[in-house]
Structure 1
Amino acid sequence: MTTKTPRRIYPDYTYTRAPIERCYWAEAVPEAALAAPPLPGPARVEALVIGGGYTGLNAALSLAQAGRQVTLIDAAFPAFGASGRNGGFCCLGSARASDGQLRRRFGPEAPADLRRAEAASIAHVDRLTRVHGIDVDRHSTGETILAHSPKAMEKLAASAESYSADYGTEMRVLSKADLAIEGLDGPTWYGGLHNPLGFALHPRKYAAGLLRAALAAGVTVHGETPALAIEQQGRTLSVTTPRGTVTADRVLVATNGYTAENLAPWFRGRTLPAQSSAIASRPLTEAEMQAQGYWSRQMAYEDRRLLHYFHLTPDGRMVFGQRGGLLSSPATEAKLAKLVRADFDRAFPAWSHVETPHYWSGMVCLTASLTPYCGPVPGLPGAFTAFGYHGNGVAMGSYLGARMAELARDEDPSEILPASFRAPPPRFPLGRFRRLLLAAEYTQARLFDL
C-alpha cells in the first residue's frame, strides 16, 4: 500500500464531495448510479484511462470500440469532477486565444481550423447521444450571448457577420425588444446575438449514458482508485494506485482541472484550475416566468469576462452560474452561494422570492497557451493527455477524448487535430502560487467589465 498523496494548488476540501452535496444534477443521477468498485490489486492492461469524466469516457469508449482492452480508473466515481457538475452547455468554445494570437502562433488558417473543431465537437456529442440512445433532457437550439452594456451590444452586432462566416451558420442579432418577445428579458441586458449551434443537456445523464456505453463495449471501470504517479518501465508505463500498480502499454490522462501536480513531472504547472459556482431554483410557475419576461429554454450567457451563464431546464428550474471564486472552504462556499444568489436577483428581480435550494461548485481548467491541448505527454512514451477547455468541456472534452484515443492508436495528429490543439502549453509562472494570476484577472475584470 502506497502513502503517496496527490499534490494540488487548492485545499483538500476542493476535491471532496462537500462542494457537490447540493448539486441539482445529482437528484436524477446520484453517486450510486455512477459508482464503480475499486481496483482490487495490481493489474496488467493494454490501455489505462485515468479520469472518468467526458474526456476519459469518450477515450475509453473509442478504444474499446476499436478492439482494445481498456481499463478506466477514477479517484472518486465517474463524472465526479466537472463532468457531473457543469452548467449543462454543449456549445461552441474551448479557447481564450484571440484570432490574432492564433494566426501569429499557428498560421493564417488557425482561427478557422479551431472553429471547425468547435462545431465538430457539438456534432460529436449529438451523434453519441443518438447512437447510444442517451436521454439527456435535451433542450435549447443554440445559445444566446447577452450584451451587458450598450457598447457591448454594438460589438456583438458588429461581430454577427464574421461569426456567421466562421461557423457557416446564421447568427441573429437581437434587440432589447427582441429579447422581450423571445422570453429572454432582463433589466441588465441591452440585446444579444443568437447562435444556432449547440444545445443544453443534463450533465450527469449524459455521463451516465457514456458510462453505460463504455461498459457495454467491454471497458473495465474502477472508482475510488486515484492515480498517484506515472513512470516509464522499459517499454511499458507503470501507474501507482493505493491498491497496487497498473502496468499498461498506453496511458491516457483525462483529469483536466483535477490533475495532480505530481502525477508526472511534465504536468507540474501546466493547468490553472478556476472555480465556477452555480445555483438552481425550484420549478418556476408560468405566471412567475411571465412576470419576469423570461421563459425561453435557450442557453444564455453574458459577454462579461466574469460571465454569468444560465438556462431554464425542461421542468422550469433556472440553473444560474458564474466564475470568480479563488478560495475553497465551507465558509468560502457559503459566501459564494450568497454572491451568486445576489447576482441572480439582479438579473431576475421578479424572482427574488423564488427559492434556490441547490448550490454547488467545481473546477474549470485554463492553460497558459489559452488553447486546449491534446497529444502525447512529453517524457512518457505511450502516454497521452487532453485538457484545458476553458469552461466549455461538455462538447470539446468529449471530442478530444475520442481524438486522444485515435492518437493512442498511432493515428497522425495533423490529420485529426488543429495545430493550436497539438502544441503543448507552457507552464504558468508563479508555480503553486499561480492562483494569484486569477486574482489579478478578476480584479481587472471587475474594474473594466462595465
Structure 2
Amino acid sequence: MTERVFDASLYRYDRVEPSYWEATAERPTVPSLVQDEAADVAVIGGGYTGLSTALHLARDHGIEAVVLDAGVPAWGASGRNGGLVCIPPAKASIPEMVRRWGRDETAAFYRWAIAGCDLARTLPADEGFDVCAQGDGNLEVADHPSRLAGLVEEAGHLTALTGVPTRILDRAAFAEVGHGGTEQFGGVHVGVGFALHPMAYALGLLGAARRRGVRVYAHSPVVRWDRDGSDHRLVAANGASVRARRVVVAANGWTPDGLHRGLDARVLPAISNILVTRPLGDAELAAESWNTETAIVNARTLLFYYRLLPDRRLLFGARGDTAGTTAAADRMQAWMHRRLGELFPSWAGIEVDYRWRGLVAMTRKRAPSIGAVNDDPSVHYAFGYHAAGVAAAPMAGKTVADAIALGSAAAPVPAVLRGLPARFPMAAMRRLALAGAYLWYGTRDRLQELRHTGAD
C-alpha cells in the first residue's frame, strides 16, 4: 500500500539500528497488536511525537489512545538522533519568517519552540525518568572566517525577537568554552537548550504513557486504512486492527506515500549519519582544547554537529547520501571519519565504535506542520522538524493532544505551524531533488569561502 523514497535497507523494521543509544539503554518488552481493538484516538508512529501525543491525551485529558509502530517504539529518528535540544526546528530564517507570517506569529513560533526545550527538562522530572542532561545552551561555531558574521547576525535576530541571551565569542574565547581545531574561527553561545540521551527520553515517554493506560504496539505496521462511517479502521500486517474516531499520523521522516492521500508527497526525507568514537583521555581532549559538554553545530548549510558524551566519547554527525544503500552509507561514513580528523588533527584515524544512520524530515514550508487534514478533520498530523525534533517533536505531540481535546479555539497553534506544506512535484523524483539541493548548498558554502579568501 505504501511507497518509500530510499533503498529498502533503510526500512528494516524487524531490527534496530546498532547505535550507541541502543547499546546504553534498556528496552522494555512491547507486544504486537494481535486482536482487534478500539480507542478514542489511534496514533501511527511510536516516536517522540506519537508517544507524547498519547501521553498528553491520557494524562492531561483522560482520552484513550493506542499507538502503533512499524518497528519498536523509538525505532526511527527518536532513537537515532544526536540528542541536541535546540531551536529552531526550521530551515527558514527569522527574517524570512517575519516576511511570510509577520513578527508576532514568528515570535509565537519561537516561544513554542523554546517551550519544547523546557518540556525536555520538566516532563522527565514530572514523570520520574532520567535523560542524562548535559551542557548549557548550544554552541554554534564558525568553521570558516566567512561565516562568523552570519552567526552574529542570526544571534542578533534571535535575541531581539525572543530575549534569548546570546554571547559572541572570538576564536580564543571559543577555545576557552568550546574547543580549538582547524575549523574554529569563533562562534556564538545560544542560551537555550542542552543535550540529552535521546533514547532515554523516548523510552521515558513510553513508560509514562503506558503507566497512564496507553496501549503501545510494536511491529504493527499499518497496511490498510479503511473508513466505517465516522470511524477509522487501521489494519496491521497480521490482519488485527484498531478502530478509532480520530487518527494521528506521527511518522515524520518515515511517513510513506499511500498511507493517507492528504499527506502524500509532503515530506522530503533526508539521511543523517552519526559516528561515535572510543572514549577520549584527558591528554587527547587537551590536545584539541576541548572544554565543554555543550553540544556544537557548525555554520555550514550542510553542517556538522558534535558533542562529548558522558563517557567521554565524541559523537559526530553529518548529512547522508541520496541513495540509501548500505554501500553508500559506508562511503559517507568513511568520508565523515576523514573529515573528523581534518577538524581535529590529533584525533585523525581515531577508532569509531558505533556508526548508524536514519531519516529526518524536510518540507517545502521549511518549518514544522501541525494540524488536521482539510477534508477530514478527524485525521491529525505533526511532522517536519528539520533535524531539530528532540525539542520540537514531544512539544508537537502535546500540541496535537491539546487540539484534539480542547479544539483549535481553546488551543491555538502559531501560524507558522498551521497547515500542510506544499507537495513535492513528481514525488518519485525526490531523491534527485535532494541531490540537487545538496549540490546547491555545497556550492553556495564553497563560494562564500572563496569570496572571503578573495577579499583577503
Judge conservation of contact 2:323–2:431 (CA < 8 Å) in 1: no
CA distance in structure 2 between the partners assigned to 1:18 and 1:190 by the alignment: 44
Q: 1:410 to 1:439 in 2, by over 3 A?
A: same
**In the alignment, structure 1 residue 41 sits paired with structure 2 residue 35:** yes
Aligned to 1:323: 319
User: What's the TM-score, normalizing by structure 1?
Assistant: 0.95
Q: 1:139-172: per-residue Cα shift (whole Å, max 9, x none)?
A: 0101111012222112223343332222312201
Aligned to 1:335: 331
Aligned to 2:451: none
Aligned to 2:253: 257
Aligned to 2:74: 79
The Cα of 1:377 is off from its aligned counterpart by 2.2
CA distance in structure 2 between the partners assigned to 1:214 and 1:414 by the alignment: 24
User: What's the TM-score, normalizing by structure 2?
Assistant: 0.94
Aligned to 2:63: 68
Name the SS of the counterpart of 1:386 in structure 2: strand
Q: 1:382-408: per-residue Cα shift (whole Å, max 9, x none)?
A: 110100000000100010011111122
CA distance in structure 1 between the partners assigned to 2:293 and 2:14 by the alignment: 29
The Cα of 1:244 is off from its aligned counterpart by 2.2
CA distance in structure 2 between the partners assigned to 1:80 and 1:347 by the alignment: 31
Q: Which amino acid aligns with 2:50?
A: G
Judge conservation of contact 2:117–2:193 (CA < 8 Å) in 1: yes
Aligned to 1:385: 381
Aligned to 1:442: 438
Judge conservation of contact 1:34–1:77 (CA < 8 Å) in 2: no
Q: Which amino acid aligns with 2:292?
A: S
**In the alignment, structure 1 residue 141 sits paired with structure 2 residue 141:** no
Name the SS of the counterpart of 2:416 in structure 1: helix
Aligned to 1:27: 23
Name the SS of the counterpart of 1:421 in structure 2: coil
The Cα of 1:75 is off from its aligned counterpart by 0.4
Residues 150-229 of structure 1 mapped to structure 2, 5 A cutoff: 150-229=145-224
CA distance in structure 1 between the partners assigned to 2:422 and 2:226 by the alignment: 21
**In the alignment, structure 1 residue 13 sits paired with structure 2 residue 46:** no
The Cα of 1:180 is off from its aligned counterpart by 1.9
**In the alignment, structure 1 residue 372 sits paired with structure 2 residue 368:** yes
CA distance in structure 2 between the partners assigned to 1:79 and 1:448 by the alignment: 35
The Cα of 1:232 is off from its aligned counterpart by 2.9
CA distance in structure 2 between the partners assigned to 1:347 and 1:265 by the alignment: 45
Q: 1:21-76: per-residue Cα shift (whole Å, max 9, x none)?
A: 4311111125xx14411101222222111111000010000011121121111001
Give the stretch that moved more between structures: 148-157 or 356-365: 148-157
CA distance in structure 1 between the partners assigned to 2:190 and 2:406 by the alignment: 36
Q: 1:438 to 1:373 in 2, by over 3 A?
A: same
The Cα of 1:206 is off from its aligned counterpart by 0.9
Aligned to 1:56: 50
Aligned to 1:129: 124
Q: 1:160-208: per-residue Cα shift (whole Å, max 9, x none)?
A: 3332222312201011011222242111121000011001001111111
CA distance in structure 2 between the partners assigned to 1:389 and 1:195 by the alignment: 19
Give the stretch that moved more between structures: 160-169 or 359-368: 160-169
Judge conservation of contact 2:270–2:360 (CA < 8 Å) in 1: yes
Q: Which amino acid aligns with 2:84?
A: F
Judge conservation of contact 2:32–2:217 (CA < 8 Å) in 1: yes
Q: Which amino acid aligns with 2:336?
A: V
CA distance in structure 2 between the partners assigned to 1:304 and 1:330 by the alignment: 26
Where does the alignment leave 5 or more consecutive residues of structure 2 unmatched? Answer: 447-456
Q: 1:334-358: per-residue Cα shift (whole Å, max 9, x none)?
A: 1111011111111111111421111
CA distance in structure 2 between the partners assigned to 1:420 and 1:371 by the alignment: 7
Judge conservation of contact 1:34–1:78 (CA < 8 Å) in 2: no
Give the stretch that moved more between structures: 314-323 or 125-134: 125-134
Aligned to 1:112: 107
CA distance in structure 2 between the partners assigned to 1:229 and 1:294 by the alignment: 51
Q: Which amino acid aligns with 2:136?
A: T
**In the alignment, structure 1 residue 412 sits paired with structure 2 residue 408:** yes
Judge conservation of contact 1:231–1:264 (CA < 8 Å) in 2: no
Q: 1:246 to 1:49 in 2, by over 3 A?
A: same
Q: 1:162 to 1:105 in 2, by over 3 A?
A: closer
Match of 2:428 among 425, 428, 432: 432
The Cα of 1:411 is off from its aligned counterpart by 2.1
The Cα of 1:129 is off from its aligned counterpart by 1.3
CA distance in structure 1 between the partners assigned to 2:231 and 2:130 by the alignment: 39
Aligned to 1:403: 399
Aligned length: 444
Aligned to 1:358: 354
Q: Which amino acid aligns with 1:56?
A: G
Aligned to 2:269: 273
Name the SS of the counterpart of 2:417 in structure 1: helix
Q: Report the aligned-residue RMSD.
A: 1.7
Q: 1:440 to 1:19 in 2, by over 3 A?
A: farther
Name the SS of the counterpart of 1:409 in structure 2: helix
CA distance in structure 1 between the partners assigned to 2:231 and 2:412 by the alignment: 25
The Cα of 1:415 is off from its aligned counterpart by 4.0
Q: 1:20 to 1:45 in 2, by over 3 A?
A: closer
**In the alignment, structure 1 residue 246 sits paired with structure 2 residue 211:** no
CA distance in structure 1 between the partners assigned to 2:132 and 2:275 by the alignment: 18
Q: Which amino acid aligns with 2:94?
A: D
Q: 1:19 to 1:409 in 2, by over 3 A?
A: same
Give the stretch that moved more between structures: 405-414 or 354-363: 405-414
